Amino acid sequence: MATRAQFGKIHALRRVLGLDNEVYRAILGRYGAESSKELEGKRLQGFLDELEDRAVQAGVWTRRTNETPPGRATTAQLRAIRALWKRCARDNTPKALAAWLKKYWKCDRLEWLATETASQVIVALNKMADA
């Protein structure tokens, strides 16, 4: 069964494409389903890909990539840094984190941290949390 995020994407694509119920059900039918809840695995991915391809070609959608630029901190590292910061800082706001990163790590934005530097930041924040 599709995840909540996948259902959201399906319906967002349906909305931006302006698909009426008849056309939407016809596309679903090509994947052997009467409802998006019936789709799983490759059929679900094929359905999502078709809707996304149509939307991109119509110019009403852009593909998002989850790829982190090479050498930059991973999504997991960024998540860990934010969580550790909230746990150990007196002022646990994103603005305070940005100021701390700039002062001690010479980095203007969290997302710009190098992978290795992000690892060092996580170690430092763990030490702060344990203190």
Among the listed residues 29, 115, 32, 42, the one whose alpha carbon sits nearest the alpha carbon of residue 80: 115
Q: What are phi and psi of 3, to 5 degrees?
A: -80, 170
Distance between CA 33 and CA 43 in Å, rounded? 9
Write down the residue that tokens 């994103």 correspond to. 94
**pTM of the entire predicted model:** 0.53
- Quote the pLDDT of residue 66: 67
Residues 66-117 pLDDT 10s: 677 789 999 999 999 999 999 999 999 999 999 999 999 999 999 999 999 9
Distance between CA 17 and CA 71 in Å, rounded? 36
Domain coordinates of the chain in residue numbers?
A: 4-58, 75-130
